[in-house]
Amino acid sequence: MAGPEIIAEADYLNHPVSLRAQYKQRSLWGDAMRRFSRNRLAMFGLGVLLLLLFLAVFADFITPYPYDQADFSVVNLLPFRDPAHILGADGVGRDYLTRLIYGARTSMLVGLSVPLFAFAIGVPLGAISGFRGGRVDFVVQRIVDIMTAVPPLLFALFLLSLTGSGVGNVIFVLSVTAWIEPTRLTRAQFLTFREKEFVASARAMGASDFRIALQHILPNALTPLLVSFTFAVPAAIFAEAGLSFLGLGITEPTASWGKMVGGGVGNYIRVYYHLALFPTLLVALTMLGFSFVGDGLQEALDPSRSQ
């Protein structure tokens, strides 16, 4: 609400600054950044995110072993027993710490690709649909209705059975179910904004539809889209983990946290607890991190919202 700005002004009154600084533009992004950085949870989330990205990118350099190297003498080794395998080993004798780090790579890969594809399809589609309306809008709305009626997991199962397993296929299948949300969101935004005066005035000035969409509406619509993207990433990670947990999706020897959890439940839990415990902790941490970032971003960009 009106809080922070008033304080800043008070500060200004007490501590006069140079003329240049006085007229310094306070941009939306600068404001947002500042608000974001003051949100401790959001910064924590950002830290988690950056750590994961680091792990994902530099996995080849920081892991003690290759991710598919099997040492048959340490099958199901419990953690904290052998310094050579500090987090233990899995059922085939692969170092668990290595697998967890490579799992970060899979998660980040899927988590970032799926929303990217989904938004790449959804935003233009939603924009055209919302802006133009008419028949295109009708068709798109119907498709969205239908896709919402099909249980997403079922659809994913079917598609995966058809395409086969593998990271690429998982990304494809998840993207197919993920493009609905950005379409809907963009369409809603465009529907709202096209009635606004500045659009009418731009049109009166002779701007083309495309120009209006790109230069006038999209920047305003960006905020909720950005926030939605930030929440789409953990959703994709969750979906991939869930599918792998059920036994579909990622093939061996690629490491996936979901698959590692799936391989550790059931009877293993009581004895080889590390098989399930560590990947679940990492998934939870990742999801929380993204969540805090998303919340923080939402609050930073649109502080009038009380959540």
- Provide the β-strand partners of residue 95: 89
Shortest distance in whole angstroms from residue 98 CB to another protein:
13
**Would you tell me which residues interact with another protein (CB under 8 A)?**
68-70, 72-73, 75-76, 91-94, 142, 145-146, 148-151, 153-155, 157-159, 161-162, 164-166, 187-188, 191-192, 234, 238, 241-242, 245-247, 251-254, 261, 263-273, 276-277, 280, 283-284, 287-288, 290-292, 295, 305-307
How far apart CA 99 and CA 105 sit, in angstroms, is: 10
Task: Rank residues 60 and 208 by Cβ distance to another protein and give the closer one.
Answer: 60
- Provide the β-strand partners of residue 89: 95
Inter-residue contact 178 to 236 (CB < 8 Å):
yes
Shortest distance in whole angstroms from residue 270 CB to another protein:
7
Shortest distance in whole angstroms from residue 189 CB to another protein:
9
Task: Rank residues 155 and 172 by Cβ distance to another protein and give the closer one.
Answer: 155
Task: Rank residues 219 and 247 by Cβ distance to another protein and give the closer one.
Answer: 247
How far apart CA 226 and CA 257 sit, in angstroms, is: 26
Task: Rank residues 98 and 165 by Cβ distance to another protein and give the closer one.
Answer: 165
Task: Rank residues 119 and 245 by Cβ distance to another protein and give the closer one.
Answer: 245
Other CB atoms within 10 Å distance of the CB of residue 202: 17
Q: Which letter does DSSP use for residue 72 in this model?
A: G
How far apart CA 195 and CA 144 sit, in angstroms, is: 23
Contacts of 92 (CB under 8 A, 6+ apart): 70, 72, 75
How far apart CA 165 and CA 193 sit, in angstroms, is: 42
Shortest distance in whole angstroms from residue 184 CB to another protein:
9
Inter-residue contact 257 to 282 (CB < 8 Å):
yes
- Provide the β-strand partners of residue 85: 82
Task: Rank residues 69 and 121 by Cβ distance to another protein and give the closer one.
Answer: 69
Q: How is residue 20 written in tokens?
A: 């240049």
Q: How is residue 288 written in tokens?
A: 């929380």
Shortest distance in whole angstroms from residue 40 CB to another protein:
11
How far apart CA 179 and CA 181 sit, in angstroms, is: 6
The residue with tokens 């896709």 is 147
Shortest distance in whole angstroms from residue 300 CB to another protein:
16
Shortest distance in whole angstroms from residue 86 CB to another protein:
20
Task: Rank residues 207 and 291 by Cβ distance to another protein and give the closer one.
Answer: 291
